[in-house]
Structure 1
Amino acid sequence: MNKVIMVVIDGLQYNVAATQMGFINHLVERNEAAFYKVKSELPSMSRPLYEVLLTGTPASVNGITSNDSIRLSTQKSLFHLTKENGLRNAATAFYWVSELYNRTPFDKVEDRQQVNEDKAIQYGTFYFDDFYPDSHLLLDAEVLRRKHDPHFLYIHTMGVDNAGHIYGSDSKQYRKTAINMDRYLAELIPIWMKEGYHIVVTADHGMNTDGEHGGTGSDERDVPLFMISERVKPGCYEQVIPQLAITPLICKLLQIAPSEAMLDYDFSDMIR
C-alpha cells in the first residue's frame, strides 16, 4: 500500500529520542523499525525546516530563511505532488504549515479546519498555540485519517519544542514531554502498522540547554529518523542522513516521482 504517515516532532533532539522514547525504540530492537540520525539543514529554525521537510529544498533555494518569512512557498511540496498524482492528503499541524501551502496570513476562524480538495493541503486541522496538547493533536490526525483516508498524512506536534524553550533540553520537563509523546504514539502506531501504512517519525530541529535553536551545534541539528514499513530495512544505523533526503524518501514510499528540485539520493541501503 502506498500510504504514508509522517510525524514531525518539533524540537526533538536525537539523543533524547534514543534514550527516552521506549516504545518506538522497542520496535527498533525487535527489528520492526529502522533508526537513523538526521543532520538538519540550516538555519535550524522551525519555518525554514518545515519547508525543507515538505519540499526537499534548502533555504538558499526556497527563500524561507527565517521564522519571519511569512508567505506561500514557491516550491512543490509533498502536498502538491500527492494532489497532482491523484492522491489524497491531510495535515494536522502548526498554522505556519497552512501559511506555507494554503493561504497567508492564517485566519484563526476560517483556517483552523480546512476541507478543500482544490488546495495543496486538502484536509487540515491547524493549531496556533505552542502549548496545544500533543495528545489532542494526534487524535485530530486520527480523525482526519479515519474520515478522509489520505494517502499522505502529515502530523506536526509542538509539545517537545515548547518544553525545550521553557525549561531547556537538559531538563526533566523536556525529557518527560518526549516520554509522553512516545506514549501517545504507542497507542496509534500499532493501529497504523496493522493497516499497512509506511510510518516516518522525525523532527525539524533539536534544542540546546539554553532552550534555543537556530545554530550549528549538534544538539540543535541532530534529530531522529524512525521508519516503520515492510519496505524499510530494520535496524539501528550509524549512517547520518541529510535532511534534504527525507522528502524524496517519502516520494519513494508513496511511489510518486520527486520534484526536479529534490535531492537525488541513493536509498538502496534503506529501502527494499
Structure 2
Amino acid sequence: MSNKVIAIVVDGMRYDKACEALGYVQHLVELNQAALYKMKSELPSLSRPLYEVLLTGTPSSVNGITSNQAVRLSNEKSIFHLTKENGLRNGAVSYYWVSELYNRAPFNFIEDREQDDLSKAIQYGKFYWDDDYPDSHVFMDAEALRRKYDPHFIYIHPLGVDVKGELFGSESKEYREQILKVGSLLAQLLPIWMSEGYHILITSDHGMSETGNHGGITPGERDVPLFIISPKVEPGVYNEVIPQLAFAPLVCKLLKIEPSNKMISYQLPGYKEIN
C-alpha cells in the first residue's frame, strides 16, 4: 500500500459550507469512497497558529505561535522535518507564512518563492504572498510540483476562500462561490490522485463567522471539515468531533513514519490497522 499523502488545507473554509458546496467530494462520500468528519480547530482560530497546529501537532501554548504576528521559525518538529529525517521527499505550495515557519524567516520574496533544496525542511516548494493569488494557480502549481518531484508528502494551501469570507462574510454568495470553485478544481485533480494511490486529506485551518471574522470560539470559526480518501479509513459520515491536534499524527501514520514525541495519541474512528 502507498505511503504517499496529499494534504489540502483550504484556508478559512467552515464545516457547514464545505459540506454544502464541495459537490464532487460529497459525491465520493455518497458512493462510499470517502470519509467525512467534523474537526474542531485549536485556539486562537487564526491562520499562522493553526498552520503550526496542523503541521506539528502542538497547541499554541506549547509552540509559542500565538498570533499571526509571530514571524519566526517554528521550534517544533513538523511533518516536513519528519519526512526528511525518514528519507522521504516532501513539497508544498502555499502562502508564504508556511515557508517562514519551516524554512526561513523573514521570507525573501526573490530567493524563497521557489525552493528546491534537499537540506531544508520543506524540500520542494512554491510560495505566494498576494492574497488574491488564484486558487486555480495554487492547485496547478502543486500538480506540476507533484509530477516533477514525486514527493511522498505534499501540502497544498489555497487562500481564496478565506479572502472572500473576510470580505463578504460566511453567508455571502461570494464565499460560497469560492468554495464551489475549489470543489471544481478538486473534481479535476482527485481522480488523478486517487488512480495513483495517494492518501488524500482535505481540511481547513479555521472557519469563518457571518461577519467575516475568525480568531474566536464560535462553531462557525472553529468547525472545519476533514474529508479523507484512503484505503486505511472506512468511508462514511462520522459523528465524533475530531481534535485538530490529531491531524499531524494521522498524516504520520499514513506516511508510515513515527510521529514526534509531542504529538497526541489518537485513534481516528474508522481507521483500519492494515499494512
Relative to the length of structure 2, the TM-score reads 0.98
- In the TM superposition, 1:226-265 aligns within 5 A as 226-265=227-266
Offset at residue 268 of structure 1 (A): 5.8
CA contact (8 A) 2:238 2:269 kept: no
Describe the SS at the equivalent of 1:2.
Answer: coil
Offset at residue 271 of structure 1 (A): 3.2
Structure 1 Cα separation of the partners of residues 267 and 205 of structure 2: 22
Structure 2 Cα separation of the partners of residues 265 and 271 of structure 1: 13
Describe the SS at the equivalent of 2:157.
Answer: strand
Offset at residue 267 of structure 1 (A): 3.0
Structure 1 Cα separation of the partners of residues 223 and 26 of structure 2: 17
Offset at residue 209 of structure 1 (A): 1.1
Describe the SS at the equivalent of 1:5.
Answer: strand
Cα-Cα RMSD: 0.7
| CA shift in 2, pair 1:209/1:267, >3 Å | closer
Describe the SS at the equivalent of 1:160.
Answer: helix
Q: Does 1:208 align with 2:209?
A: yes
CA contact (8 A) 2:84 2:121 kept: yes
Per-residue CA deviations over 1:224-251 (Å, capped at 9, x if unaligned) read 0000011111001111000000000000
Report the counterpart of residue 144 of structure 1 in structure 2: 145
Point out 4+ residue stretches in structure 1 off by more than 4 angstroms. none
Offset at residue 262 of structure 1 (A): 0.3
Structure 2 Cα separation of the partners of residues 18 and 267 of structure 1: 20
Report the counterpart of residue 177 of structure 1 in structure 2: 178
Report the counterpart of residue 111 of structure 2 in structure 1: 110
Report the counterpart of residue 31 of structure 2 in structure 1: 30
Structure 2 Cα separation of the partners of residues 211 and 132 of structure 1: 19
Report the counterpart of residue 18 of structure 1 in structure 2: 19
Per-residue CA deviations over 1:112-152 (Å, capped at 9, x if unaligned) read 00100000000000000111100000000001100000000
Describe the SS at the equivalent of 1:153.
Answer: strand
State the AA in 2 paired with 1:52: V
Describe the SS at the equivalent of 2:154.
Answer: strand
5+ residue gaps, structure 1, are none
Describe the SS at the equivalent of 1:125.
Answer: strand
Report the counterpart of residue 5 of structure 1 in structure 2: 6
CA contact (8 A) 2:14 2:208 kept: yes
CA contact (8 A) 2:235 2:270 kept: no
Report the counterpart of residue 119 of structure 1 in structure 2: 120
Relative to the length of structure 1, the TM-score reads 0.99
Structure 1 Cα separation of the partners of residues 228 and 158 of structure 2: 17
5+ residue gaps, structure 2, are none
The aligned length equals 272
Report the counterpart of residue 94 of structure 2 in structure 1: 93
Structure 2 Cα separation of the partners of residues 36 and 239 of structure 1: 7
Per-residue CA deviations over 1:153-196 (Å, capped at 9, x if unaligned) read 00001010000011111100000000000000100000000000
Report the counterpart of residue 61 of structure 2 in structure 1: 60
Offset at residue 65 of structure 1 (A): 0.1
State the AA in 2 paired with 1:200: L
Report the counterpart of residue 79 of structure 1 in structure 2: 80
